[in-house]
Amino acid sequence: LFRAALGVNGGLSVPDVYALHQNYPNPFNPVTTLQYDLPEDAMVNITIYDMMGRIVNNLVSSQQNAGYKSIQWNATNNQGQPVSAGLYLYTIKAGQYQQTKKMILLK
């Protein structure tokens, strides 16, 4: 699903506000997609946690340009090992914006 639209000047449109969307598919196995919107250039961190609050995967940690973004997670931890089925949290931090959502991995 390609969400960016062409603006009046022919450039890609930029979102008005920060947003973190629900992952899809959810529940998922073995890969899910996380979409987020950046209204301005920002340092972006997307981190996946288990229900005990432990970091599972530092998915994104980079300076990014404004726009409609997405990244896939293949249900692995920072060491590249598959994680167990269950409930996970994913958090975005971009500028002053922070948002957390839940996702379910089924095996």
- Determine the Cα–Cα distance for residues 75 and 48; give it in Å rounded to an integer: 10
Q: Which among 85, 72, 67 is positioned nearest to 25, based on CA atoms? A: 72
Is this model's pTM higher than 0.85 or not?
A: yes
pLDDT, mean of residues 62-76? 97
Q: Which among 69, 58, 62, 64 is positioned nearest to 21, based on CA atoms? A: 69
Q: For residue range 31-53, what is the model confidence (pLDDT) as tens digits?
A: 999 999 999 999 999 999 999 99
Q: For residue range 70-97, what is the model confidence (pLDDT) as tens digits?
A: 999 999 999 999 999 999 999 999 999 9
Which residue in the block uniquely carries the two structure tokens 């994680």? 83
- pLDDT of 7 above 60: no
